[in-house]
Every structure is written in C-alpha cells, then in structure tokens.
Amino acid sequence: MPSRSATAGPFNRSWGAYAFLAPALLILFLSLLLPAIATIGMSFTDISFLRPTNWVGLDNYFRLMADGRFQQAIGNTMYYTLGVTFPTMALGLLAAVALNRKFPFRIVFRTIFYLPVLTSLIAAAVVWVYLYEPYSGPVNGLFVSLGLGPQPWLSSPNLAMTALIIMAVWRDFGTAMIIYLAGLQDIPEEIYEAARLDGASKFSILWRITVPMLGSVTFYLMIILIVQSFQVFGAIYVMTGGGPLGSTETIVFQMYQTAFGYTEFGYSAAMSTVLFFVILLFSLVGTKIMRRGEG
C-alpha cells in the first residue's frame, strides 16, 4: 500500500545511515565518550588501585571545595590562561596584518613564525629551559648586556609562571597568525579601498575596520586558546615540575600528580570532571555567542 511504503521509507533510510555511521560512532564512543563517562563515575569513588574501592558519593567534590592547593591551581591556571590568551592574540593579529601585505619573502616569514607550532612541545621546552638557564642562558645574557640583572626565571615563584607564559606565547602565536590570516583574506579589498578613499589612516583602518571585522575569528581563537591553556601540562612537566612552591601547578598538572603521584584516582577524577564541565561551559557559551554574531 502506498501509505505504508511512504512511512517506511524515511525509517529505512535512517537505519541505512546509522549503519554507515556505526563504525565511526563506535570509535567515538570507545575513545571519547566511554573514558569521559568512566571518569565521571570514578569521581564518586575512592579508587586508587592499591586498596578496595568504595563509593564515596560527592565527598571528593566537597574535599575539592576546601582544598587550598586546588584553589591555588585554579588561580595559577587562570593567570596562565589570561597571560597566554591575550598576548598570543595581539601578537598573532599584528603578525597576520604585517604578513598579509605583498612583500618579498613574506612566505618565508610566515613559515618562520609558524615553525614553533610544528616543533615538538617537549623539544621546545627543553630548549627554553636552556634559554632560561640563570648563569649561561641567552635570556639572562641579553638582560646583562642591556644592563639589567640576571633573573632566576624558572626557580623564582614570582617569575616561573611568567617564563612559562612567554614560552607558550612564542609557541602559539603562529596558530593565531594563521587563523587571523585566513580571516583577513575574507575581508574584501574594496572595503580597505573605500576606507582609504574616506581618508582613514593605517591605524584607523586597523582599529575601525580590520579588528571589528575579525570579531568572530577573534572570538573563535579566544575560545580555542582558553580551552588549550586550561589543559596545559607538557611544558610545566618538563620545565618546572609544578614548582617552585606550587607556583606553576595548574589544574591538569595537579590532576596528574594526584592520580599518578599519590594514586588518588578518584579525587583526581573529580578534578578532571570539574575541569571538563568548565571547558564545556566555555565552549557552549562561546558557540552560542558566535552563532548570535553570525545571525
């Protein structure tokens, strides 16, 4: 009967589509969703693999709220995130605007600026440990030659996080530059020409035309950088080990230490769950604002 086949058609087609999607969905479930669910489940236990596991309900979360060390990690993470995100975006924008013009060797410059992104994080971190070396490192060499005193970059609680931020900005601004370059190439040349005819100076064109027109790119980049900075681990592991005096201990680094140093996997899973929801919140808010902007 025609009516029956009409209702059966879309249903069958849906199942066909799900069948084709199944392998990808299975991989996504096993690699992303299952570990996430398992982590959330673990956060309600005192699992440590060294003693019998008990269900502890929300105890881990109550403990987190009162944990001064965790609060310090939150503060460190916020400081690092702000310190990395905005300078990276500003430098990336300036580099993109400069390299969007036609001049000889601009491809070479783009490549040079993007190279740190391609470098292995661990290798780069090792090199930066050498650069920051207090006695023979080039950074202090430069400071001394400028008449400034040598600084204990990675061994001072006041300077270590800043040193990590500088290294992260160096490494990430190439990404910002590439994303901004793509955004700049979407701005029609005629708009710049109209602004030139309207008597706008180069600074006015940058401030009144380019920056606002890159608004959605800037927002996208900001969300990416914030989420990425929240999850910083490798550079801290290699360069400071969270020290001195916990001054570079971020949430993810503390999660690692709590899980693998103190074998408190349940407590670490609670930290991980909190971080997961904070990042999720940022992503959702960011996506919503971007969609509103596009609309």
Partner 1 sequence: MAELELSGVSKTYGAFNALKDVSLEIGDGEFAVFVGPSGCGKSTLLRLIAGLDPVSEGQIAIGGKDVTSRQAGQRPIAMVFQNYALYPHMSVYDNIAFPLQMERRPKDEIRAEVAKAAQIVQLSTRLQDKPSKLSGGQRQRVAIARAIVRKPGIFLMDEPLSNLDAALRMEMRSELTQLHRRLGSTMVYVTHDQLEAMTMADRIVVLNGGKVEQVGPPMELYHNPANLFVAGFIGSPPMNFLAGTVRSAEGATVSVEAARIGVVTLPFSGEHLYAGDSVTLGIRPEALELGAGRQVQFSVVPEAVERLGLHTIVHAGEEGRPFTALFNGDPKLRAGEAINVSVDGASVKVFDADGILRSRRAEV
Q: Which residues bind partner 1 (CB under 8 A)?
A: 188, 190-191, 193-201, 204, 208-209, 212-213, 215
Burial of 180 (0-12, 13-18, 19+ CB in 10 A): buried
Contact 227, 85 (CB under 8 A): no
Q: In angstroms, rounded to a whole number, what is the distance separating the alpha carbons of residues 35 and 49?
A: 17
Angle at 171 between CA 215 and CA 293, to 5 degrees: 15
CB of 91 to partner 1, least distance (A): 23
194: left (phi over 0), alpha (psi -120 to 50) or beta: alpha
Nearer of residues 214 and 274 to partner 1, judged by Cβ? 214
CB of 224 to partner 1, least distance (A): 22
Nearer of residues 78 and 290 to partner 1, judged by Cβ? 290
Nearer of residues 149 and 295 to partner 1, judged by Cβ? 295
Contact 54, 42 (CB under 8 A): no
Secondary structure element (H or E) that encloses residue 290, with its range: helix 265-294
CB of 89 to partner 1, least distance (A): 18
CB of 70 to partner 1, least distance (A): 42
Nearer of residues 119 and 193 to partner 1, judged by Cβ? 193
CB of 185 to partner 1, least distance (A): 16
Helices (H) and strands (E) in the chain, counts: 15, 0
Nearer of residues 18 and 186 to partner 1, judged by Cβ? 186
